[in-house]
Amino acid sequence: MKKLLIFVSFLTIVGVGGYFLSPEYLKTAIQYQTPDIDDYKIFKNRTVKADKHIPWEISGDYNKKDFSKVTNEKIMELDPVAFLIVQNRKIKFEKYWQGYNEDSLSNSFSMSKSIISLLIGIAIDEGHIKSVDQKVGDFMAEFATKPNDVLTIKDLLTMSSGLNWDESYSSPFSVTTQAYYGSDLFGLINKLKVIEKPSLNWKYLSGNTQILAFILKKATGMNVADYASEKLWKPLGAKNDALWCLDKQDGMEKAYCCFNSNARDFARIGQLVLNKGMFDDIEIISKKYIDEATKPAINLTGDKGRLVDFYGYQFWIVQYKGYNIPFARGILGQYIFVIPDKNAVIVRLGHKRSDKRTFHSEMPDDVYLYLDAAMEILD
């Protein structure tokens, strides 16, 4: 019904004839209407290559526990395709639906923002970037002149850039829709202007992450997917190649979204954060960066004057029953939760996210549902 309403509203605005005169991105948006977890099939992609597989150990009580009936019913209402629990570096529980399995690709959506953050940290560790305080204009000429010359990498990481990006997901005319279905990410980024003083107010903008990707490409001299392969995916021992959707053939990665992998390999990202940048006794990223990335940016002000106790460097943070839990999050209920107190990582993939925000203005209710569900399984 939502798709139909978007389509009807579009035709009401521009008319049937206007459709045929519309930009290509808009025609694509109308054709597909809403993002889906299998959209890698409709986009061009760049492969994030895996190499030597490091298998997960399987817990001795693997799948011995299950969700309560009430919890399971709530989970099923949100159309899941995967739920995975890793504890003490062993797979303790996993379940798949709708024909998906441990190797099935699914879109990360905005969980990829957390992946970009990790890649920025690695680039800093390697000296490609001086620090999070380095100016964006050092890497992109478009941000070297006023009013954009004040912008720093940290402003982008903490969603405090003050840029004029429209994050609307429902409008067919928003820059976010153009970015998702269009073919010129650089052109979109090139038009952005700082309209509010950075480093003060938190505002979630996917454009921030896309700029970080252009910085990565400039700083490292590599495509983002290739850098991710060499510095993250291969060292993590991923089993399967991932796919990163592009804006066009041989184009730019849609860095703010669209990293396609499976639950078991996504869990490696969580394990890396849980281990403070280590994986199998190899340091992939510095502990210092992980600590900063998963610490709330409480110097910022969020909606209605609230201190930002829920967001770091492209990572979300939730306080849950005394636990401090950083996590990656996607728009259709994609999650990688890291629970240090339980030495655990939780991955959930699926088609829907809760529309309710009962407990926190920035936290969908399903965040708490999946953490409650995990606690039924964890030791």
Domains defined for the chain, CATH in brackets: 56-377 (3.40.710.10)
CB-based contact 150:165 (threshold 8 Å): no
Please tell me the predicted confidence (pLDDT) of residue 34.
86
Residues 315, 323: Cα–Cα separation, whole Å: 16
Kindly report, residue by residue over 328-349, the tens digit of the pLDDT: 999 999 999 999 999 999 999 9
Please tell me the predicted confidence (pLDDT) of residue 21.
58
What average pLDDT does this structure show over 184-197? Answer: 97
Please tell me the predicted confidence (pLDDT) of residue 364.
98
Q: How many CA atoms lie within 13 A of 192 on its CB side?
A: 35
Residue 55 DSSP code: P
Grouping H, G, I as helix, E, B as strand and the rest as coil, residue 43 is: coil
What average pLDDT does this structure show over 191-210? Answer: 98
Q: What is the mean pLDDT of the chain?
A: 94
Please tell me the predicted confidence (pLDDT) of residue 1.
34
Please tell me the predicted confidence (pLDDT) of residue 58.
99
Kindly report, residue by residue over 355-365, the tens digit of the pLDDT: 999 999 999 99
Kindly report, residue by residue over 18-39, the tens digit of the pLDDT: 555 568 877 777 777 789 999 9
Reported as a pLDDT band with limits 50, 70 and 90, residue 173 is: confident
CB-based contact 325:105 (threshold 8 Å): no
Please tell me the predicted confidence (pLDDT) of residue 7.
45
What average pLDDT does this structure show over 262-274? Answer: 99
Please tell me the predicted confidence (pLDDT) of residue 172.
82
Please tell me the predicted confidence (pLDDT) of residue 8.
44
